[in-house]
């Protein structure tokens, strides 16, 4: 009997030992092994960073500068305008569209040369035409950066050749790109694999330096870059399964490695994330909370004893969430349960905090919908009369 029990115990231990791995915690997301010294994934729907490696480190950004150059040009000129190429632009080094002094090219065709061929000559010509000088155009770029709320970016040149004081971060470069992609002309240009432009009426075919456009499903832009200071760079826009992201690679050793790193970032999102309607979840949870808690809010000396609550609108509806965090969405409400009249219409009386796995995603304000005035003598008299009427009825 004892021997049978011993055998049973040994078999049980062996079974448990082999079974435990099935229940192992697989929630940990795989580590990304990247060649680039700087990398980032940006969710366009929410503006949230999904992954970063030195994402807020100031760095040169080579020709990805031209994303900002294109923004400033598109917002300050007409695509049909014709530019006569100056001698400074015609003689600039690095990657070129092949412009010569006194060539005549439309703004539209220069923008294609800027973003597809990465022409430094096109960048310089556009800057001088729009700004009057490289310095003035750089000022326009910096003014735009300030308008976008960027605090770690500064522009000196329109093409991205290494210059002291010319820098950004991967995070802010993603924000610049997100803003640019809201311009349909910009989006059309950077998603073009090849096109034909006209220089002095002569046709010239140009191809996009971004090879991912033709090789990775869902990629629709944006810009390559290289200088000795920045290394190999690649900003990419990718959209699939309702997920829309921007990836940034800066400081890769070779073109192949920047491409490989970008593919890894895209695959990382495709494998580990999904799109969630966070606004709908928040509104449903807030309605549940109101049913339980609104009656607990008391207004001292108010013409009304209760309040009607409104929640601030979110500035985005959807967001990409790690699949392991779908059940870790938490709503925390902080509100004043004791209020004193008068209370203005739309006065803030609390906040709602949205957390995903403990990370604050958004903090929304809770408002009082209607004005609640302080009680006056007539209100007290009305209450007294109602009380008398109730006593008579009894």
Residue range 153-182, pLDDT digits in tens: 999 999 999 999 999 999 999 999 999 999
Per the annotation, the verdict on 66 as an active-site residue is yes
User: What span, in angstroms and rounded, lies between the C-alpha atoms of 75 and 334?
Assistant: 42
Q: Which residue out of 53, 66, 144, 223 is catalytically annotated?
A: 66
> Is the pLDDT at 4 greater than 60, yes or no?
no
Q: What is the mean pLDDT of residues 364-369?
A: 93
> Is the pLDDT at 16 greater than 50, yes or no?
no
Q: Which residue out of 118, 124, 153, 362 is catalytically annotated?
A: 118
The pLDDT confidence band at residue 302, using thresholds 50, 70 and 90, is confident
- The pLDDT assigned to 382 comes to 66
CATH 3.30.710.10 fits 38-253, yes or no: no
The pLDDT confidence band at residue 393, using thresholds 50, 70 and 90, is low
Share of the chain above pLDDT 70, in %: 89
Q: In what helix (H) or strand (E) does residue 238 lie, and over which residues does it extend?
A: strand 231-240
> Is the pLDDT at 15 greater than 60, yes or no?
no
| Least-confidence region, from 53-57, 122-126, 311-315 | 311-315
Same fold across 38-253 and 277-377: no
- The pLDDT assigned to 307 comes to 87
- Phi first, then psi, for residue 30 (nearest 5°) are -60, 145
| Domain assignments of the chain as residue spans, ordered by start | 38-253, 277-377
Q: Which residue out of 46, 53, 63, 95 is catalytically annotated?
A: 63
- The pLDDT assigned to 174 comes to 98
User: pLDDT digits over 347-364, tens only?
Assistant: 999 999 999 999 999 999
Per the annotation, the verdict on 188 as an active-site residue is no
Cβ neighbours of residue 171 closer than 8 Å, sequence gap 6 or more: 40, 42, 49, 52, 55, 56, 152
Q: Are 111 and 189 in contact (CB under 8 A)?
A: yes
Q: Write the burial class of residue 283 (CB in 10 Å: 0-12 exposed, 13-18 middle, 19+ buried).
A: middle
> Is the pLDDT at 283 greater than 50, yes or no?
yes
- Topology, domain 277-377: Peptidoglycan synthesis regulatory factor (PBP3), Domain 2 (2.60.410)
Per the annotation, the verdict on 4 as an active-site residue is no
């Amino acid at each position: 009997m004892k021997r049978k029990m011993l055998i049973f115990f040994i078999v049980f231990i062996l079974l448990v030992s082999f079974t435990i791995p099935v229940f192992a915690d697989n929630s940990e997301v795989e580590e990304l092994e990247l060649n680039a010294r700087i990398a980032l994934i940006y969710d366009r729907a929410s503006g949230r960073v999904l992954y970063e490696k030195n994402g807020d480190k100031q760095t040169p950004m080579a020709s990805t500068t031209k994303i900002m150059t294109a923004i400033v040009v598109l917002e300050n000129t007409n695509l049909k305008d014709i530019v006569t190429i100056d001698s400074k632009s015609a003689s600039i080094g690095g990657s070129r569209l092949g412009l010569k002094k006194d060539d005549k090219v439309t703004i539209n065709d220069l923008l294609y040369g800027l973003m597809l061929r990465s022409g430094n000559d096109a960048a310089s010509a556009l800057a001088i035409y729009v700004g009057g000088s490289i310095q003035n155009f750089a000022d326009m770029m910096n003014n735009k950066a300030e308008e976008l709320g960027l605090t770690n970016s500064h522009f000196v040149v329109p093409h991205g050749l290494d210059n002291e004081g010319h820098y950004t971060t991967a995070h802010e470069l993603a924000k610049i790109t997100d803003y640019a992609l809201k311009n349909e002309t910009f989006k059309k240009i950077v998603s073009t694999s090849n096109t034909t432009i006209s220089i002095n009426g002569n046709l010239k075919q140009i191809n996009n330096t971004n090879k991912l456009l033709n090789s990775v499903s869902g990629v629709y832009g944006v810009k390559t870059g290289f200088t000795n200071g920045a290394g190999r760079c690649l900003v990419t826009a990718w959209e699939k399964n309702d997920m829309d992201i921007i990836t940034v690679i800066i400081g890769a050793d070779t073109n192949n490695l920047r491409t490989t790193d970008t593919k890894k970032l895209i695959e990382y999102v495709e494998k580990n994330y999904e799109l969630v309607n966070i606004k709908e979840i928040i509104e449903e949870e807030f309605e549940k909370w109101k049913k339980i808690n609104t009656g607990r809010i008391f207004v001292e000396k108010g013409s009304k004893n209760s309040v009607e609550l409104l929640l601030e609108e979110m500035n985005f509806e959807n967001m990409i969430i790690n699949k392991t965090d779908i059940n870790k969405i938490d709503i925390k409400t902080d509100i004043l349960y004791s209020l004193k009249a008068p209370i203005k219409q739309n006065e803030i009386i609390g906040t709602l905090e949205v957390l995903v796995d403990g990370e604050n995603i958004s903090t929304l304000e809770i408002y009082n919908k209607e004005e609640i005035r302080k009680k006056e003598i007539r209100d007290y008299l009305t209450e007294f009369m109602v009380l008398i009427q109730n006593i008579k009825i009894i």
